[in-house]
Protein backbone atom coordinates (compact mmCIF):
# COMPACT_ATOMS: atom_id res chain seq x y z
CA UNK A 1 0.00 0.00 0.00
CA UNK A 2 1.28 3.46 -0.84
CA UNK A 3 0.11 6.95 -0.06
CA UNK A 4 -0.14 9.77 -2.58
CA UNK A 5 1.55 12.08 -0.07
CA UNK A 6 3.77 11.37 2.91
CA UNK A 7 4.34 14.25 5.35
CA UNK A 8 6.35 13.49 8.50
CA UNK A 9 8.34 15.38 11.13
CA UNK A 10 10.98 13.77 13.33
CA UNK A 11 11.10 10.41 11.53
CA UNK A 12 14.06 8.13 12.20
CA UNK A 13 14.21 5.16 9.83
CA UNK A 14 17.59 3.44 9.65
CA UNK A 15 18.84 0.13 8.25
CA UNK A 16 15.51 -0.74 6.62
CA UNK A 17 15.08 -4.02 4.73
CA UNK A 18 13.37 -2.27 1.78
CA UNK A 19 12.77 1.38 0.92
CA UNK A 20 12.86 3.71 3.91
CA UNK A 21 9.92 5.86 2.72
CA UNK A 22 7.83 5.31 -0.42
CA UNK A 23 5.10 7.49 -1.89
CA UNK A 24 3.12 7.41 -5.13
CA UNK A 25 3.16 11.20 -4.87
CA UNK A 26 5.41 13.51 -2.83
CA UNK A 27 7.45 12.95 0.32
CA UNK A 28 7.80 15.89 2.72
CA UNK A 29 10.19 15.27 5.63
CA UNK A 30 11.24 17.72 8.35
CA UNK A 31 13.93 17.12 10.97
CA UNK A 32 14.24 13.46 9.96
CA UNK A 33 16.85 10.78 9.28
CA UNK A 34 16.33 8.04 6.70
CA UNK A 35 19.55 6.10 6.06
CA UNK A 36 20.99 2.63 5.59
CA UNK A 37 18.40 1.10 3.25
CA UNK A 38 19.85 -1.55 0.89
CA UNK A 39 18.80 0.33 -2.26
CA UNK A 40 16.94 3.64 -1.77
CA UNK A 41 15.98 5.52 1.37
CA UNK A 42 13.34 7.64 -0.38
CA UNK A 43 11.35 6.68 -3.48
CA UNK A 44 8.59 8.85 -4.91
CA UNK A 45 6.85 9.97 -8.09
CA UNK A 46 7.34 13.67 -7.27
CA UNK A 47 10.52 15.36 -6.06
CA UNK A 48 10.86 15.05 -2.26
CA UNK A 49 10.86 18.15 -0.05
CA UNK A 50 13.45 17.78 2.71
CA UNK A 51 13.93 20.30 5.53
CA UNK A 52 16.69 19.50 8.01
CA UNK A 53 16.62 15.89 6.86
CA UNK A 54 19.43 13.40 6.20
CA UNK A 55 19.21 10.56 3.68
CA UNK A 56 21.68 8.50 1.65
CA UNK A 57 19.87 7.66 -1.61
CA UNK A 58 16.66 8.82 -3.30
CA UNK A 59 14.94 7.27 -6.29
CA UNK A 60 12.41 8.31 -8.92
CA UNK A 61 9.39 5.98 -9.14
CA UNK A 62 8.62 5.62 -12.84
CA UNK A 63 6.21 2.72 -12.36
CA UNK A 64 8.90 0.32 -13.50
CA UNK A 65 12.45 -0.04 -12.17
CA UNK A 66 13.98 2.76 -10.07
CA UNK A 67 17.17 3.75 -11.91
CA UNK A 68 17.51 7.51 -11.42
CA UNK A 69 17.84 9.68 -8.34
CA UNK A 70 16.24 12.97 -7.34
CA UNK A 71 19.65 14.38 -6.32
CA UNK A 72 18.38 15.35 -2.85
CA UNK A 73 20.26 12.85 -0.67
CA UNK A 74 23.94 12.78 0.31
CA UNK A 75 25.02 9.93 -2.00
CA UNK A 76 22.74 10.60 -5.01
Of the candidates 44, 62, 64, 63, the one whose C-alpha atom is nearest the C-alpha of residue 72 is: 44
The number of CA neighbours under 13 Å toward the Cβ of 30 is 3
Residue 37 maps to a domain: yes
Residue 48 maps to a domain: yes
Residue 15 maps to a domain: yes
pTM of the model: 0.90
Domain with 16 in it: 3-60
Tens of pLDDT along 7-40?
999 999 999 999 999 999 999 999 999 999 999 9
Residue 76 maps to a domain: no
pLDDT grade for 65, boundaries at 50, 70 and 90: confident
Residue 39 maps to a domain: yes
Residue 30 maps to a domain: yes
Rg of the chain on CA atoms, in Å: 11
Domain count, the chain: 1
How far apart CA 4 and CA 74 sit, in angstroms, is: 24
Residue 66 maps to a domain: no
Amino acid sequence: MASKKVRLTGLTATNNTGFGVYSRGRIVLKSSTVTGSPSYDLVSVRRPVLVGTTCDHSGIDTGDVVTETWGVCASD
